[in-house]
Amino acid sequence: HPDHLFEYEKLSQYVDSQQEQYVQTLRDWVAVESDSSDVLRRPDCHRMMNMTAEKLRVMGGMVDLVDIGIQELPDGKTVALPKVVTAQFGSDQRKQTVCVYGHVDVQPAKLEDGWATDPYNLTDINGNLYGRGASDNKAPVLAWIHTVEAYQALNIELPVNVKFVIEGMEETGSNGLDAMITAQRDTFFSDVDYIIISDCGWLSRRPALTYGTRGNCYFFAEVEGPKQDLHSGVYGGTVIEPMTDLIGILDTLISPSGQILIPGIREAVAPLSDQEWKMYQDIEFDIDNFKSKIGVSQLMYNNKVDLLAHRWRYPTVTIHGIDGAFSGPGTKTVIPAKVIAKFSIRQVPDMDPAMVKKQVTDYLNSVFAKRKSPNKLKVTMVIGAKPWLAETKHPLYEAGKAAVKRVFNVEPDLIREGGTIPIAKTFEDVTGKSIIMLPIGGFDDGLHSQNEKMSRYNYIEGTKLFIAYLHEVAHLKKD
Ligand SMILES: C[C@H](N)C(=O)N[C@@H](Cc1c[nH]cn1)C(=O)O
Ligand SMILES: [Zn+2]
Ligand SMILES: [Zn+2]
C-alpha cells in the first residue's frame, strides 16, 4: 500500500481552502427547484441536468446528456424525462474504474409547509446549510465532483478512472434509467469495476458504510362515485361517499401496532438471523435522542434491535396523502366525488414487487367488494423498486473502513438504509458489478422534511472521505 505516494494532506488542505466556493456552488444548485414529482417544474429539472453537465464539461470530462425518452402521465399526456448525465475522467486501463451514481432532483418543498427559511435559498445557520436537496442529494454529488476537481487543481493524478451517472428522476422512481443502463451495459458500463452511491445518511455522529436499502412499491387507490362534488347537507346520508369507502379500505392495510394485514406480505420477509441480531445489538443508537429529534414521546418499539430492524429490514406501510380530499383552510362542506389515496410499502428481501402488486390489488379489491359499494375502485402500482443488500465482507467495505479511519480516525458503523435507491438493484443485476454506499449525510439532515440541511462539516469532511476512498479503491486487486 504505497501510502507515501498519497498526498492526502495537500488534498485535504486544498478542500478546506475551497469551502466558500463549494458552499456557493451548492447554493446555485439548491436555487433550482428540480422537483421531479411536479411536471410543472420539469423545465427546472432540465436546467438542473444542463448545469450538472456543464460543471463536468468545464472540468474536461467526456460528458453526455443521454435522452431517456418520455414519461406518461396519469391523464394520458406525456412529458420529456430529464436527460441523464454521464461523464468520464480518465481511461487508463491499468487503473480501477469507479462509477459514481447520484441524483439532482429533489422532493417537493414550500415555505408554507413550515420551513424556517426559503427552501430554495441555501441559508447558513451555525454551520448548517438549510435548503431542499442540500443533503438529498446535491451536496454529496458536488462533493464527488469536487473530489475529482481537487486532484486536478493540484495536478495530482487521479488514482482511478472516475465515471459519473447523474439522474433527475430518483425521487419519482428513476423512470427510464433501467433501460438506459441496460442499453449502455456493453459501452459506458463495460469497463466499470465498482459502483459507488452516496445518497443516504449516517445513523449517528459516527461515519457509516451502508450495505442495504429497502425498495418501495408505491400505489394509487382511486375511488370514484358521483359525477361531481356534492353539498354534504343536501346529499349527505343519501349517497355512498367515496371518501368513506377509501378510508375504510385504507384502514385494513396495517394494524395500530404496525402489523401489515395484507395476506402474504409478512410471510415473504427473510427472517432476522442471530448474526444480524448481534450486529444490531452492537451498534450505538440513542433511542431518546432519536425520539426527541423527531418530536415523539413513544415509538412502535422500545428496544434498539426492534427499532433498527423495523427501520431497515422489515416492510412497512405508509399512507402519504389523498388527492381530491378537501384540505384547504376553512370549513368547506363538500362530498368529494373522486379521491385517490397514495400509499407505499417499503420492500425488503425476499419480497418481490410484482408479487406485492398482486397481493395488494387482490386484497383491496376483496375488502372493497365486502362493502357492497356502487363506487368504483381502481388500484395501480406506480413505482416498484426492489431492495438491495450487499456482502459487507467485500473489499469495497474494507476500503471504506480504511478511508473513514484516515479522515475521521474512527471505525465506521455498518448500517442499512430504510429509504430506497430505486436503481441500486438494477445496477448490480445489469452490470454484474458490486456496489458500496458511502454516505456523508448527517443523521439529522431531515431528508424529505421541512428544514432539510447539510452541515458544512459533513460536506467538507465528506469530500475528504471521497478523496481518501479513491486512494483505497486504487489499491484493490483488479479482477
Ligand atoms: C434514500 C434516497 N435518498 C431517497 O430518498 N429515495 C426515495 C426514493 C423513492 C422511493 N419511492 C419513491 N421514491 C425514497 O426512499 O423515498
Ligand atoms: Zn436521494
Ligand atoms: Zn430522497
What's the average model confidence in pLDDT over 138-156? Answer: 98
How many Å apart are CA 193 and CA 180, to the nearest integer?
A: 18
Average pLDDT over residues 327-334: 97
Same domain, 105 and 230: no
Residues 107 and 131 both lie in one domain: yes
Atom of ligand 1 nearest to the CA of 214: 15
C-alpha of residue 230 to centroid of ligand 2, in Å: 41
pLDDT at 4: 62
Summarize the confidence of residues 96-119 as an average pLDDT: 98
- Using CA positions, which residue lies closest to atom 9 of ligand 1? 171
Residues around ligand 3, an ion, CB closer than 5 A: 136
Nearest CA to ligand 1 atom 11: 216
Does residue 160 sit in the same domain as residue 261? no
Mean pLDDT of 30-55: 98
Q: Which domain holds residue 176?
A: 3-213+387-474
In a domain, 308, yes or no: no
Same domain (yes/no): 226, 89: no
- Residue 135 lies inside a defined structural domain of this protein: yes
Report the predicted TM-score, pTM, of the whole model to 2 decimal places: 0.97
Structurally, how many domains does the chain consist of?
2
In a domain, 362, yes or no: yes
Torsion from C-alpha of 370, 376, 377, 380, nearest 10 degrees: 160
Q: What is the pLDDT of residues 359-380, one digit of tens each?
A: 999 999 999 999 999 999 999 9
> 157-174: per-residue pLDDT in tens?
999 999 999 999 999 999
Are 421 and 199 in contact by the 8 Å Cβ rule? The answer is: yes
pLDDT for the residue numbered 479? 63
Q: Are residues 18 and 162 in the same domain?
A: yes
- Ligand 3 midpoint to CA 133 (Å): 8
Indicate the top mutation candidate among 420, 423, 438, 449 to test ligand 1's pocket, ranked by most ligand atoms within 8 A of CB. Answer: 420
Q: Is the pLDDT of residue 420 over 80?
A: yes
What is the tens place of the pLDDT at every residue in 283-300?
A: 999 999 999 999 999 999
CA distance 285 to 203: 7
pLDDT at residue 74 in the model: 83
Q: Are residues 149 and 37 in the same domain?
A: yes
Same domain, 122 and 242: no
Task: Find the 171 Cα to ligand 1 centroid distance in Å.
Answer: 5
CATH of the domain at 155: 3.40.630.10
CATH number at residue 249: 3.30.70.360
Work out the mean pLDDT of the chain and round it to a whole number.
97
* CA 103 remoteness from chain centre: 9
Look at ligand 1, atom 6, and give the residue with the nearest C-alpha: 420
Ligand with the closest atom to the CA of 37: 1
Rg (CA), the chain: 23
Mean pLDDT in residue range 125-153: 98
Residue 60 pLDDT > 70: yes
Same domain for 391 and 376: no
Residues 248 and 374 in one domain: yes
Active-site residue set: 105, 170
